[in-house]
Structure 1
Amino acid sequence: MFEAILLGMGAGLISSFLTGPVFFSMIKTSIEKGFKAGFSLAIGVIFSDVILIGIVLFGSQFLEYQESFDKYVGFIGGAFLFAVGLYYLFATVAINYDNNTLQKVSKRGYLIKGFLMCILTPSTLMFWIIVSSIISVKLNNRLDEKLFCFFIAMGTQLTIDGLKSYYSSKLRYRIKESALKTLNKVAGVIIILFALWLVFKTYNQFY
């Protein structure tokens, strides 16, 4: 169970920085429209992730586990995450700070926006397919532990997204694009290190 908690927290942490346009849209929305708008967008992302996880998790129950899955998951997953990390290192960040007046917002509208932005991003589905495969291998394909692990992942992700929205709205006059660029690079380095660790561990296991 402890391993399920660690895996869930790791997946939630990476996912909260992995959503690309959603990540910066959440910060941008919080700066321009306030915490409620940004957090509503975050909840929409969670709803989307829950649906994608359900599709991946219960769809995988129809696949018969083979030991060779470990190798494919390790190398393919590591390569995918490595590519994502490189993208974050070199991606540009642009935020419009002109709208500095907080207005009444439609929380439902931002919830739908977050849901659609996430569920229509192919990389999100690919991420959860890889995470589900890794979790299945590490937790011996036990459904109860996998469900608990994903529950922890969603809780971690929502907590981090909530903090991002809160502090973005509170520090809206101090957050600069240069700081977001730095955060982008830090996220890229973290993802790359995790990818290299995954490939290294897989290589040692099979070779």
Structure 2
Amino acid sequence: MFEAILLGMGAGLISSFLTGPVFFAMIKTSIERGFKAGFSLAIGVIISDIVLIGLVLFGSQFLKYQDSFDKYVGIIGGIFLFAVGIYYLLSRVSINYDTDPLSKINKRGYLLKGFLMCILTPSTLMFWIIVSGIISVKLDKLDEKLFCFFIAMATQLTIDGFKSYYSSKLRHRIKEDTLSKLNKVAGVIIILFASWLIYKTYHQYY
């Protein structure tokens, strides 16, 4: 069970940085429209992730498991995530500081926006397919797998909540240059995870 907690926390941490457009849309929304708007976006992202995780787990029931699945998921997924990390290192961020964060907001609208942005981002589905493959190797029981995904969602929502809260409170102190640096940090984290995944898969199967 301890391994499930570690895997879940790791997956939640990576996931909170993974979806580039959503990650920075959350910070941008919190700065421009306040904590409630940013956190509503975060909840929409979590709902989307739960749907994708359900699809991955449900869909895997119809596939005959083979060891080669882990090999292909590890190598292809690692390369894909590595490319995402490179994109993070090169992308830029822009923010409008003139909006009023205290004005009335449409929470459902931001929730729907977070849901659609996340579920329509290919890297999100790819990430959960990769995580599901890793968890299937590390954990045998279904209840442990579900608990692991629960920890991942709880970790991600906690991190997103902190991001939204502090982004709204420190809106005038958070500069575009700071977010660009944060973008690069996220890129490095994803590249390290991708490199570890490729290395682990290569040494296991070759």
Is TM (by shorter chain) over 0.5? yes
2:66 is aligned with 1:66 = yes
- Cα distance between partner residues in 2 of 1:206 and 1:124: 26
TM-score by length of 1: 0.95
Q: Output the amino acid matched with 1:184.
A: N
Q: Which residue of structure 1 lines up, in the alignment, with residue 198 of structure 2? A: 199
2:199 is aligned with 1:184 = no
Q: Which residue of structure 2 lines up, in the alignment, with residue 26 of structure 1? A: 26
- Cα distance between partner residues in 2 of 1:126 and 1:203: 19
Distance change >3 Å, CA 138–CA 73, structure 1 → 2? farther
- Cα distance between partner residues in 1 of 2:155 and 2:8: 8
- Cα distance between partner residues in 2 of 1:112 and 1:170: 24
Deviations 1:107-132 (A, max 9, x none): 11211111111112222212211221
Aligned-pair Cα RMSD in Å:
1.3
2:139 is aligned with 1:139 = yes
Q: Output the amino acid matched with 1:201.
A: K
TM-score by length of 2: 0.95
Q: Which residue of structure 1 lines up, in the alignment, with residue 108 of structure 2? A: 108
Offset of residue 77 of structure 1: 1.8
- Cα distance between partner residues in 2 of 1:101 and 1:206: 52
Q: Output the amino acid matched with 1:51.
A: V
Q: Which residue of structure 2 lines up, in the alignment, with residue 16 of structure 1? A: 16
**Identical columns (%):** 82
Runs of 4+ in 1 over 6 A off after TM superposition: none
Q: Output the amino acid matched with 2:10.
A: G
Q: Which residue of structure 1 lines up, in the alignment, with residue 97 of structure 2? A: 97
Q: Output the amino acid matched with 2:32.
A: E
Q: Mind listing any 5+ residue stretches in structure 1 that lack a counterpart?
A: none
Q: Mind listing any 5+ residue stretches in structure 2 that lack a counterpart?
A: none
Offset of residue 73 of structure 1: 2.2
- Cα distance between partner residues in 2 of 1:25 and 1:87: 16
Deviations 1:33-82 (A, max 9, x none): 11111101100111111111101111102212222223222211211111
- Cα distance between partner residues in 1 of 2:197 and 2:21: 25
- Cα distance between partner residues in 2 of 1:189 and 1:25: 19
Q: What is the total number of aligned residue pairs between the two structures? A: 206
